[in-house]
Amino acid sequence: MTNMLLFPFADYWWLYGAFIGFVISMLLLDLGVFHKSAHIVSVKESAIWSSIWFCLALVFNFGFYHYALATFPDRTMLNAIPGFDAVLAAKQVGLEFLTGYIIEKSLAIDNIFVFVVVFRYFAIPDKYQHRVLFFGIIGALIFRAIFIALGATLLQYEWVVLVAGAFLVLTGLKILFAPNKVPDPGANPLVKLVKKIFPVTTELDGQNFFVRKNGVLYATPIFLALVFIEFSDIIFAIDSVPAIFAITKEPLIVFTSNIFAILGLRSLYFLLAGVVDKFRFLNYGLGLILVFVGLKMVWLNEAFGGKFPVLWSLGIIGGILLGSILASLLIKSKSKPEVPH
């Protein structure tokens, strides 16, 4: 289409602000009303909230498409571009949001594996896990916004696009062929640093991150779990943010699709935590998705005249994800999977 941004920040800062306001209000509603007191999140509750977040993303996508459809014909600068079609452009941004959302949602499943390991390692009771994930999500939103701002700036340079694409391909190949190692939270350098700064108590004090004993401030295992989860999200963002930029160059689409996927991550964790070990082929699917989006950045976009068809991308990514899930459910394992403790 065109190298010009359809939603430049200078003109659409209010849309960013409105979206951030919506996110903050939903988080306050979540913590202040629905999870005001610590409790075990049931499968029914997590299924309801997973459905709510998914439906909200689809409603936003529907509204985003119609907003583009209504405003693009009136934008003089866009219509001055030879061959610009407002209807096709609106369909394009709608598909790009949906594809970006599916990519981030798929890659976010890897976070669930980490959450399971972390909560088992630090022995965090079920009723306190939501609080850890709530503040983990807030940190993730901040870090993702920073990564997306950097990506929007750096990925304007062709050599950065090539490096990022090659990195995604190599990461995907590593997932496919390297042995899958269970992370060790105790060996994490950031966790070790926290232990040097604060004395750490082995006992919980309700859902508090810190507790004061004899005038000394102690970090609790809940805080260590939060630190590791924040650290792991930064690592995951290195993959996921460039992956969505492989689909669209619009920072607004990257930001909103990324945030919607993260907001539904907590409820998805409580829904899948008990069965996550059954999806043994899912990692291979995620590896293939990273290889595909990496190839889009370094080769496929150029091979298709600057833009690989987004509808094809949506079909390929959805097909890989669905195939890996079905393979996990239909192909029985010969040995019982090891569960890390």
Asked whether 262 and 312 are in contact (CB, 8 A), the reply is no
Give percent of the chain with pLDDT exceeding 90: 30
Residue 339, pLDDT score: 46
Mean pLDDT within 299-324: 88
Q: What is the DSSP string of 282-312?
A: HHHHHHHHHHHHHHIIIIIHHHTTT---HHH
Rounded mean pLDDT, 1-14: 81
Please state, in angstroms and rounded to a whole number, the distance separating the CA atoms of residues 34 and 198.
Answer: 32
| More confident call, 239 vs 296 | 296
Of the chain, the end-to-end C-alpha distance in Å amounts to 51
Select the more confidently predicted residue: 274 or 111.
111
Least confidently predicted of 64-78, 211-225, 273-287: 273-287
211-255 residue pLDDT tens: 998 888 999 999 999 999 988 888 888 888 898 998 999 999 999
Element spanning 219, H or E: strand 216-219
> Three-state secondary structure along 86-103?
HHHHHHHHHHHHHHHHHH
Question: What contacts 24+ positions apart, CB below 8 Å, involve 22-27?
Answer: 23/141, 23/259, 23/263, 26/263, 27/134, 27/137, 27/138
pLDDT in the model for residue 76: 66
Q: Is 216 helix (H, G, I), strand (E, B) or coil?
A: strand
> Torsions phi, psi of 200, nearest 5?
-115, 130
Locate 154 and state its tokens: 């750096």
Do the beta carbons of residue 156 and residue 249 sit within 8 Å? no
pLDDT for position 191: 85
Q: Does the pLDDT at position 281 exceed 80? A: yes
Q: Average pLDDT for residues 124-144, to the nearest whole number?
A: 87
Global pTM value: 0.86
Cβ neighbours, 10 Å, residue 87: 11
pLDDT of residue 237: 85
Q: Is the pLDDT of residue 11 over 60?
A: yes
Give the pLDDT mean for 288-299: 91
Whether the predicted pLDDT of 2 surpasses 70: no
Average pLDDT across the chain, whole number? 85
Instruction: Assess whether pLDDT exceeds 50 at residue 1.
Output: no
Q: How confident is the model at residue 335 (pLDDT cuts 50, 70, 90)?
A: low
